Amino acid sequence: MSAPAVTMDVRRLGHGVPVIDIKGDVTAACEPVLMSAYEAAGGGKAPWLLLNFGGLDYMNSGGIGMLVTLLVRAKRQRQHLAAYGLSEHYREIFELTRLDEAIAIYDSEQAALSAAR
């Protein structure tokens, strides 16, 4: 499998809410990158984890599967996931797959942070 064309950097917002900034292609190949970012964000310790998809170029079914794996981990820790920055196309895919029922979707970082605080 080719090297993932993605970066996932972790920031802390107000009240220590972690956010992972996703830039590039989200495919099955980037699962180690996501899981490293998840650990850097505190793993399941934070009650909320925000995913910033503002830099997303491409996501395929393998990437969706990877998000499901992340959701399983978060669910075990009773952690809430929230997403923002999704394009209309990927919002539609979140709706089709019902990911939007498991990951709260917001229009902006501020809106997601308000929900998480």
Partner 1 sequence: MTHVARPMPRRLDSFTLASEAGNERPALDRVARSVAGLGLPAPRVDRLKTAVAEAIMNAIEHGNGNRPEIPVEVEVTQDGDQVIVAITDQGGEAAGKAAAGGDAAINAAEPDLFKKLEGAEGPRGWGLFLIRNMVDAVHVMTDGQRHTIWLAMRTGGAADAGHV
Interacting residues toward partner 1 by CB under 8 A: 1-2, 5, 25, 27-29, 58, 60-62, 64-66, 68-69, 71-72, 75, 87-89, 92-93, 96-99, 101-102
The smaller minimum CB distance to partner 1, of residues 84 and 94, is found at 94
Q: Which residues of 39-78 are buried (b: 16+ CB within 10 A; e: fewer)?
A: eebeebebebbbbbbeebeebeeebbebbeebeeebeeee
Least distance between partner 1 and beta carbon 98 (Å): 4
Among 5, 38, 36, residue whose Cα is nearest residue 23: 5
The smaller minimum CB distance to partner 1, of residues 45 and 75, is found at 75
Least distance between partner 1 and beta carbon 105 (Å): 14
Residue 106 dihedral angles phi and psi, to the nearest 5° = -125, 160
Contact residues for 117 (Cβ-Cβ < 8 A; gap 6+): 14, 15, 17
The smaller minimum CB distance to partner 1, of residues 5 and 13, is found at 5
Least distance between partner 1 and beta carbon 71 (Å): 6
Least distance between partner 1 and beta carbon 108 (Å): 21
Task: Name the β-bridge partners of 12.
Answer: 18
The smaller minimum CB distance to partner 1, of residues 37 and 66, is found at 66
